[in-house]
Amino acid sequence: MTMRVAIVTGAGSGLGRVVALALGRAGYAVVLAGRRRGALDAVAENLAGALAVETDVTDPASVDRLFARVAEVHARLDVLFNNAGIFTPAAPIDAVRLEDWRASLDTNLTGAFLCTQGAFRMMKAQAPRGGRIINNGSVSAQVPRPHAAPYAATKHAMTGLTRATSLDGRPYDIACGQIDIGNAATEMTQGFAAGVRQADGSLRAEPVMDARHVADAVVYMAGLPLSANVQFMTLTATAMPYIGRG
């Protein structure tokens, strides 16, 4: 075995793209998973030997095809970065549409669960056995923003999934950790300079940090021996409203 293999979900944009590129630079054979084939191909152009697999993480059959393709091409998996996620329209909890609630659950939580199952099965059966699953929790796994109940609920649940996976993985040398990220500069945070709703109802500009710091952290977590694990890491822009969010 000359190369470790890593899957990144939501790899076509944002943090997924930045992390995928960093893993590639660190010597991983990167599998890019996402819904938009064109975006995946654009990332793959900058990664030697990358494998782009169009994947809808909410669809069990699509997830099964992803892991079957990884098994076919690489015959093993060392790292899964569960990153795919969506924001639904901001709304107070009594005005959240059921379809938005379900869409958030399907992508942010069930999608991570399905990919975790696929990775766990591969890592448990392969030789050498084991691997690492890293979940993108977001600081919303700890404290919510106003009018974001679906997102906050799924990210709080991600913490439970991380803990359960870590526990169930112990007998099989499968480590699982979570990185909770706050205000990394991506397409999703472009509007933060114009103002973000705060707990008191006001709109205030918020600082962001370079997304490469997130990529560096994920590469560090991924590169640890399976005898060590970052269980939880919180990485934020220093001055963002997280401590004392409201």
Domain ranges of the chain: 5-236
Bond preceding residue 60 cis, omega within 30 of 0? no
What pLDDT does residue 63 have?
A: 98
What pLDDT does residue 246 have?
A: 58
- Encoded amino acid at 217, one letter: A
Contacts of 227 (CB under 8 A, 6+ apart): none
Helices (H), the chain: 14-25, 37-44, 60-74, 98-104, 111-125, 149-169, 212-223
pLDDT tens across the length of the chain (246 residues): 468 999 999 999 999 999 999 999 999 999 999 999 999 999 999 999 999 999 999 999 999 999 999 999 999 999 999 999 999 999 999 999 999 999 999 999 999 999 999 999 999 999 999 999 999 999 999 999 999 999 999 999 999 999 999 999 999 999 999 999 998 877 776 777 678 888 888 888 788 889 999 999 999 999 999 999 999 999 999 988 888 765
Question: How many whole angstroms separate alpha carbon 117 and alpha carbon 133?
Answer: 10
Please indicate, yes or no, whether the overall pTM of this predicted structure exceeds 0.85.
yes
Tokens for 230, please give them. 């970052």
Instruction: With beta carbons less than 8 A apart as the criterion, state whether 67 and 119 touch.
Output: yes
CA angle 243, 212, 173 (to 5 degrees): 85
Contacts within 8 Å (CB) and 24+ apart, 89-95: 90/146, 90/147, 90/148, 90/197, 91/147, 92/146, 92/147, 93/149
> Read out DSSP for 114-153?
HHHHHHHHHHHHSSS--EEEEEE--GGGTSPPTTBHHHHH
**Which CATH class name applies to 5-236?**
alpha beta
Does residue 208 come out as left (phi exceeding 0), alpha (psi in the -120 to 50 range) or beta?
beta
Q: In degrees to the nearest 10, what's the CA dihedral of 228, 14, 20, 224? A: -10
Identify the active-site residue in 151, 172, 220, 242: 151
151 is a catalytic site residue: yes
CA angle 114, 219, 174 (to 5 degrees): 45
Q: 3-class SS at 20?
A: helix
What pLDDT does residue 236 have?
A: 93
Among all chains, which residue has been given the structure tokens 């069930």?
A: 110
Question: How many whole angstroms separate alpha carbon 195 and alpha carbon 238?
Answer: 17
Does residue 51 come out as left (phi exceeding 0), alpha (psi in the -120 to 50 range) or beta?
beta
Question: How many whole angstroms separate alpha carbon 168 and alpha carbon 198?
Answer: 38
What pLDDT does residue 2 have?
A: 65
